[in-house]
């Protein structure tokens, strides 16, 4: 007799018994009350939809933690990966090289107009942050300025959760829990556009914040290696958006005070803000650029740090100790690089940045009616990121909203009181309408 297929409840029970889920108070999953956090077993994905084991489906409104760009089980990425799998699944990148790693580095360099000429590979975003910080410090050390060993970040910044990355992460709950283990970077004010006073524009807020940056750099540049920031949108802080003017000013100040500018485009890169890289909207280039999340289309763990040739040259020497000392076992994994190449192919073949303009307009139109709600504040958008804040002092608001969205067949996971949409770039008109409806209904439930 054939065993009955396992259903949602089976997978749920087994997961709770064996898997420790990330960024989760596990007890909330086990709770039975109104504030319980549902755990959803997923059997398969297709396009923008996730399917469970019992015929329910959920529209992936946040691209599965911001990684999925062209839908689940994308036929083109699948085909590229199958071919790569038959050719070379992995080889170490120390002493060896391979086609996907070379081609990806070349294509990313071309996307920066040749300014960021070398690519260093790793597997996740937090590692990319750490690589950029180490590279910056070590570059200055090789240049005889070892005292440049401090970093600056913006208030509310998020650059990952490993110990080194936590040092430049200013999200209170992450940072405070492990504060004794880190060497915290100094923070300078974030140019959050919501801070605009009457008669002030977002660019004015940016100029004010840049003055604080200047004061800090003028006083301490001898000890500062780099400023790290998330260009245009601070993701984990709650989709905090700011004017490109800040990036222009920060670039000029970093040049003047000889401090590296690190752009963490792990979340905002790969077309998310409308341009391929967010920093392009300020007409600048960073010294170091971190990429991850969307770069592999949401398929495989991959991160990349791109750097200027001048930084690369600072390590080029006889001596091993002057070389960059960093490695991960799966560095430059061919499958992950192949997924990234297939992702870049789709950007080119489908003219994605252009077609996203229309998608972004439709997303805004779908959310605009929600902004009429008296408890909705600051509806904002940058490309394919939309967000608003809900005025609620219910500590369980985000959990309630999340659950109500699932009940309306949508995956939308608020950051505190900030509700945001960050869907894959294949989302169609009907799906956009579905998301708008889900937000409206979930908001009504969560605020009730």
In the complex, the residues that contact ligand PLP under the rule CB under 6 A are 124-126, 129, 158-160, 230, 235-236, 264, 266-267, 292-293
Residue number with CB closer to ligand PLP (168 or 443): 168
Contacts of range 175-181, beta carbons closer than 8 Å, 24 or more positions apart: none
Tell me the backbone φ, ψ of residue 306, rounded to 5 degrees: -100, 140
Q: Can you tell me the distance from the alpha carbon of 228 to that of 257, in angstroms, rounded to the nearest whole number?
A: 15
Number of residues that make up the chain: 448
* Tokens representing residue 213 in the block: 């940056």
Residue number with CB closer to ligand PLP (129 or 343): 129
Residue number with CB closer to ligand PLP (280 or 431): 280
Residue number with CB closer to ligand PLP (158 or 324): 158
Q: Taking the complex as a whole, how short is the minimal distance between the CB of residue 133 and ligand PLP, in angstroms?
A: 12
Residue number with CB closer to ligand PLP (129 or 221): 129
Residue number with CB closer to ligand PLP (100 or 231): 231
* Tokens representing residue 99 in the block: 């086609």
In the chain, how long is the greatest CA-to-CA distance? 77
Q: Taking the complex as a whole, how short is the minimal distance between the CB of residue 304 and ligand PLP, in angstroms?
A: 12
Residue number, nearest CB to ligand PLP: 125
Cβ proximity of 276 and 111 under 8 Å = yes
Going 58 to 62 to 64 to 65, the CA torsion angle's sign is negative
Residue number with CB closer to ligand PLP (251 or 293): 293
Q: Can you tell me the distance from the alpha carbon of 413 to that of 421, in angstroms, rounded to the nearest whole number?
A: 9
Q: Taking the complex as a whole, how short is the minimal distance between the CB of residue 141 and ligand PLP, in angstroms?
A: 24
Residue number with CB closer to ligand PLP (236 or 352): 236
Q: Taking the complex as a whole, how short is the minimal distance between the CB of residue 217 and ligand PLP, in angstroms?
A: 22
Going 292 to 293 to 297 to 300, the CA torsion angle's sign is positive
Spatial strand order of the sheet with 418-421 comes to 376-382, 385-390, 418-421
In degrees to the nearest 10, what's the CA dihedral of 196, 200, 205, 206? Answer: 140
- Tokens 């993701």 found at: 235
Q: Can you tell me the distance from the alpha carbon of 405 to that of 391, in angstroms, rounded to the nearest whole number?
A: 18
Q: Can you tell me the distance from the alpha carbon of 129 to that of 161, in angstroms, rounded to the nearest whole number?
A: 10
Q: Taking the complex as a whole, how short is the minimal distance between the CB of residue 129 and ligand PLP, in angstroms?
A: 6
Q: Taking the complex as a whole, how short is the minimal distance between the CB of residue 351 and ligand PLP, in angstroms?
A: 26
Q: Taking the complex as a whole, how short is the minimal distance between the CB of residue 61 and ligand PLP, in angstroms?
A: 17
Q: Taking the complex as a whole, how short is the minimal distance between the CB of residue 231 and ligand PLP, in angstroms?
A: 10
Cβ proximity of 228 and 208 under 8 Å = no
Q: How many CB atoms lie within 10 A of CB 257?
A: 18
């Amino acid at each position: 007799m054939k065993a009955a297929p396992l259903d949602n409840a089976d997978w749920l029970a087994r997961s709770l018994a064996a898997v420790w889920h990330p960024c989760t108070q596990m007890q909330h999953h086990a709770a039975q009350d109104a504030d319980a956090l549902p755990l959803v077993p997923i059997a398969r994905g297709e396009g923008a939809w996730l399917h469970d084991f019992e015929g329910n489906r959920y529209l992936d409104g946040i691209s599965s933690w911001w990684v999925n760009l062209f839908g689940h089980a994308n036929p083109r990425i699948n085909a590229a990966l199958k071919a790569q799998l038959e050719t070379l699944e992995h080889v170490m990148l120390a002493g060896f090289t391979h086609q996907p790693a070379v081609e990806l580095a070349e294509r990313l360099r071309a996307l920066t107009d040749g300014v960021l000429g070398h690519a260093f590979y790793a597997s996740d975003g937090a590692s990319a942050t750490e690589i950029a910080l180490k590279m910056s410090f070590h570059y200055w050390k090789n240049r005889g300025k070892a005292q440049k060993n401090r970093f600056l970040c913006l208030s509310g910044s998020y650059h990952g959760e490993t110990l080194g990355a936590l040092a430049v992460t200013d999200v209170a709950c992450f940072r405070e829990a492990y504060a004794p283990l880190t060497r915290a970077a100094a923070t300078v004010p974030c140019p959050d556009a919501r801070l605009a006073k009457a008669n002030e524009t977002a660019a004015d807020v940016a100029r004010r914040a840049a003055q604080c940056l200047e004061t800090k750099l003028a006083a301490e540049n001898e000890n500062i290696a780099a400023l790290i920031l998330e260009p245009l949108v601070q993701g984990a802080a709650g989709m905090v958006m700011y004017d490109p003017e800040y990036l222009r000013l920060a670039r000029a100040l970093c040049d003047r005070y000889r401090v590296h500018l690190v752009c963490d485009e792990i979340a905002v890169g790969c077309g998310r803000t409308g341009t391929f890289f967010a920093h392009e909207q300020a007409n600048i280039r960073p010294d170091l650029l971190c990429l991850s999340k969307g770069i592999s289309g949401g398929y495989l763990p991959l991160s990349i740090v791109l750097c200027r040739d001048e930084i690369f040259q600072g390590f080029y020497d006889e001596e091993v100790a002057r070389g960059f000392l960093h490695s991960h076992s799966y560095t430059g994994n061919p499958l992950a690089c192949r997924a990234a190449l297939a992702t870049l192919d789709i950007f080119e073949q489908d003219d994605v940045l252009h077609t996203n303009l229309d998608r972004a307009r439709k997303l805004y139109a779908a959310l605009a009616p929600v902004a009429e709600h008296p408890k909705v504040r600051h509806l904002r958008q940058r490309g394919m990121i939309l967000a608003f804040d809900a005025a609620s002092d219910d500590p369980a608001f985000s959990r309630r909203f999340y659950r109500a969205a699932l009940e309306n067949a949508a995956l939308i996971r608020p950051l505190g009181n900030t509700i945001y949409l960050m869907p894959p770039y294949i989302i169609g008109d009907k799906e956009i309408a579905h998301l708008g409806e889900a937000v409206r209904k979930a908001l009504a439930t969560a605020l009730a």
